[in-house]
Structure 1
């Protein structure tokens, strides 16, 4: 399936992209974690999921996060997205310190300034495609921008399908709706948790191409947790977690290189 012209020619991005999506004058870092630790339980039985994460991710970047089972990937995503609070340290999103925010303010921030793409799509079956896409605007109390929804649906290859229900779409199409929904509020960051885990290889590649183009063409910032080296190969960099720490980094690389680095990391953990 073609990607319906989502990719734009280099040099025209600023001309074609709305100023709000370029985050003019905004802080350079979209995500900052400083000394972030997260423990569950106390004493000898405590589980230390994160053991001191220091990280700054620039706007308009695509970061993949990988690691063995139990390495802290899910906890990292939850703390970075304000879905969980660190035991120690601070988290800033789009220049806003979220550590210590009360739940009402965190909920408002997640609705208006963050986007989410999950493995299970999480579309509401009773709503149309357009209504699913515009739902974050409605929840945030913003004016529903149907023109923007239509534009985003066209960009992800679903032009003219806004009146359909999720049950009428394939899995890949539903994930395209989820990407459009994640982008509708022009978020500071889109967090993606195994976004291709339920898709076949061909459809997964198309969805990853859409995420890549959202970064290149719209200036989106994406943080994606994945176990798949082919998915991670679309990112600008790969962070490898092990035992709650950033154990390694890799600039944009082909899937075999990512897989080899992951194998090495796993072997180190097994030998420790």
Structure 2
């Protein structure tokens, strides 16, 4: 099987001695290409650290991370930055759009930061795919929260990345808009073959995924394949 994400013995510790916090305690997993995985767990379970280490935003203290067949553990900071810009996509709760740039320019930004000119046609096509092609020339301040998140999704997908990492992508949205955003992430997997890894606290959001991983005290405490929001909520480990 073709795996988009592979973690082997990934550990992350903050601090030293008795006050050390073991955020990740040896994570082993493989996520296939073209899959949608949700990661859940109570506060302090290691969700954010998991995403940061898996996405190359933070370096683990031990173990290896392989994305799209490329081992990123041990890469220099410059190579890792280039890898993130060209091979990964990111969607955050706070959208992370530059207010001075148009929607189209925000979509093209990672490519231009990596030294490319950016494909304007591809950017406009992706904005059209997420339903806001007619807003390509508007700046974030002229867009609603849901529209801004659509721009962020277009930015994440336009370069056909190996993996899209989403960190609470619906946390700042109302339920109806959140459902629209999750439907787009689902469609990116089903129609474009994208691989999505999403950290969320919301069982309703996790129900859109193919599989849910439950973190507890820095370890994977279980998983389910699909299921309703109610069934997923019932599996969460209490904080």
In the superposition, the TM-score normalised over structure 1's length comes to: 0.87
Q: How far apart are the structure 1 equivalents of 2:17 and 2:147?
A: 47
Alignment RMSD (CA, Å): 0.9
1:55: which partner in 2?
A: 29
Q: Which ranges of structure 1 fall in alignment gaps of 5 or more residues?
A: 1-26
User: Contact 1:71–1:242 (CA<8 Å) still a contact in 2?
Assistant: yes
For residues 59-118 of structure 1, the C-alpha deviation after alignment (integer angstroms, 9 at most, x for no partner) is: 000000000000000000000000111111000011111111110000000000000000
The answer to whether structure 1 residue 244 and structure 2 residue 196 are counterparts is no
2:77: which partner in 1?
A: 103
2:54: which partner in 1?
A: 80
1:174: which partner in 2?
A: 148
| Deviation, structure 1 residue 143 | 3.1
- SS of 1:160's partner is helix
2:176 aligned residue (199, 202, 205): 202
**Number of residue pairs matched?**
239
Runs of 4+ in 1 over 2 A off after TM superposition: none
User: Contact 1:50–1:244 (CA<8 Å) still a contact in 2?
Assistant: yes
Q: How far apart are the structure 2 equivalents of 1:165 and 1:83?
A: 27
Q: How far apart are the structure 1 equivalents of 2:195 and 2:148?
A: 21
2:41: which partner in 1?
A: 67
Q: How far apart are the structure 1 equivalents of 2:137 and 2:60?
A: 41
User: Contact 1:137–1:184 (CA<8 Å) still a contact in 2?
Assistant: no
- SS of 2:133's partner is coil
Mapping for residues 38-49 of structure 1, pairs under 5 Å: 38-49=12-23
In the superposition, the TM-score normalised over structure 2's length comes to: 0.98
2:208: which partner in 1?
A: 234
User: Contact 1:182–1:190 (CA<8 Å) still a contact in 2?
Assistant: yes
2:114: which partner in 1?
A: 140
Q: How far apart are the structure 2 equivalents of 1:156 and 1:215?
A: 13
Q: How far apart are the structure 1 equivalents of 2:138 and 2:76?
A: 37
1:3: which partner in 2?
A: none
1:189: which partner in 2?
A: 163
Q: How far apart are the structure 1 equivalents of 2:36 and 2:72?
A: 21
For residues 230-260 of structure 1, the C-alpha deviation after alignment (integer angstroms, 9 at most, x for no partner) is: 0000000000000000001010111111111
| Deviation, structure 1 residue 160 | 1.7
Q: Which ranges of structure 2 fall in alignment gaps of 5 or more residues?
A: none
Q: How far apart are the structure 2 equivalents of 1:139 and 1:217?
A: 28
